[in-house]
Amino acid sequence: MHCRPERDGWPVKLQTSAGRRRCRLLDSNAFGPLGLWLQRLGLAILLGGQVLIHLLKGKLHRRNTLEQMSLVGTDSVGIALITAAAIGAVFTIQVAREFIRFGATSTIGGVLAIALTRELAPLLTAIILAGRVGSAFAAEIGTMQVTEQIDALQILRSDPIDYLVVPRVVACSLMLPVLTMFALVTGLLGGMFLAYSLYDISQTLFLDSVRSFLRPWDLFAAILKAIVFGALISVIGTGWGLTTTGGAKGVGQSTTTAVVTSLLAIFISNFFLTWLLFQGFEGVD
C-alpha cells in the first residue's frame, strides 16, 4: 500500500511481519505538538523492533554498514578524544586538591577511573554522537523523504529499512562502544598528566589506584551502556527522518527534535541502566 503526505499531516510506512506495508497518517492539527511527538516516538519504537527482526533474519547491507561505521567512528573519534581528555583533566583539577587535603592521594586515579568508566565516558560520547551523527541521520533521511527518494527506493523494490535504517543502527551500536573505550583511555591519560603536573602525583601511584578500583564489571557496564545509547541515537534519528514532511522547514524541525529526543532517551535510559547494573545486580550480592 502506498500513500503520500497530505497538507496537514505526514505518513509513516512500516514493514509488517507479514510483509505488507501499512500507512498511518498523523494529523498535527488534531493531536497537537505533544501528541504528535508521542506518536512519532511510538513509531520510532516500532521501527527499532523492525530493525531487530531484519537483523535476526540476517538482512544487512554490508557496504552501507561499513560506510556508516566510518561516518560514526572514524569521523567522530577526534572530537570524542578531545572531549574526554578535557573532562579527565578538569575532573582531576576539581577532585585532586580535596583528596590531597584529606590524605587520600592514592585514590585519585581510581575515583577518576570509576567516574569515567561508569558514567562520563559512555554518556559524554553518546551526547557527542547524538549531536553529530543523530542530527546527520535525521537530516539526510528527512531530505530523502521530502524529495521522494524513499518512494524511488520502493519503486526499485529496495526496502528503505534494509538499505537506510539497519546499517545506521548497526554502525552506531558497534562504533559507540569503541569510541567509549578510546574516550576512557584518553580521559585517564589526561587526568594522569594533570595529576602529575599540578600535584606531583606519580604515574605509578595513579595507575595502581586505577587497577585497584576498576573491575571488569565496570567495563562491561560501559560497553552495554554505549550499545544501548548507540541504538537509541540511530533509531530515533532515522525514525524522525523517515517521518519528515514540509520541505526544508520540516527537515530542520525533524533534525532538532531528533537530537532533543535522543538526549532525553540517553539520560532516561542511563538512569535505569545505572540502577540495574550497579544497584539491581550488585544489590543481590
Task: Answer yes or no: is 23 within a domain.
Answer: no
Rounded Cα–Cα distance for residues 116 and 180 (Å) = 10
Question: Residue with C-alpha cell 533474519?
Answer: 57
How many domains are there within the chain?
Answer: 1
Q: Residue 249 corresponds to which cell in the numbers above?
A: 522547514
pLDDT at 21: 39
User: How far is the C-alpha of 230 from the C-alpha of 177, rounded, in Å?
Assistant: 8
Half-sphere exposure of 160 (CA within 13 A, CB side): 23
The answer as to whether 176 is a domain residue is: yes
Task: Judge whether 21 lies within some domain.
Answer: no
Query: Residue 7 has what pLDDT?
Result: 37
CB 91 within 8 A of CB 112: yes
Domain of residue 206 covers 42-278
Could you tell me if residue 29 is inside a domain?
A: no
Identify which of 151, 158, 173 has the alpha carbon closest to the alpha carbon of residue 237: 173
User: Residue 262 — φ and ψ, nearest 5°?
Assistant: -60, -45
Angle between helical axes of 216-242 and 247-275 (0-180°, round to 10): 160
Q: What dihedral angle (degrees, nearest 10) is formed by the CA atoms of 193, 199, 203, 205? A: -140
In a domain, 30, yes or no: no
Given this model, what pLDDT does residue 36 score?
76
Q: What's the CA gap between 93 and 273, in Å, rounded? A: 28
Grid coordinates representing 73 are 567512528
Give the model's pLDDT for residue 11. 43
Indicate whether 24 belongs to any domain: no
Residue 13 resides in a domain: no
The answer to whether residue 18 is domain-embedded is no
189: amino acid identity, one letter: L
pLDDT at 3: 44
What distance lies between CA 252 and its chain's CA centroid?
A: 20
C-alpha Rg value of the chain to the nearest Å: 22
Ramachandran quadrant class, 174 (left: phi over 0; alpha: psi -120 to 50; beta: rest): alpha
Decide: helix, strand or coil at residue 10: strand
Mean pLDDT for each 10-residue chunk of the chain (285 residues)?
40 40 46 76 88 86 89 89 93 88 88 94 95 92 87 79 90 95 95 90 92 93 97 94 84 91 96 89 53
Give counts: helices (H), strands (E), the chain. Answer: 13, 2
- In terms of Cα–Cα distance, which of 225, 259, 220 is closest to 240? 259
Query: C-alpha distances in angstroms, 62 versus 43, 59, 67, 69, 157?
Result: 25, 9, 9, 10, 18
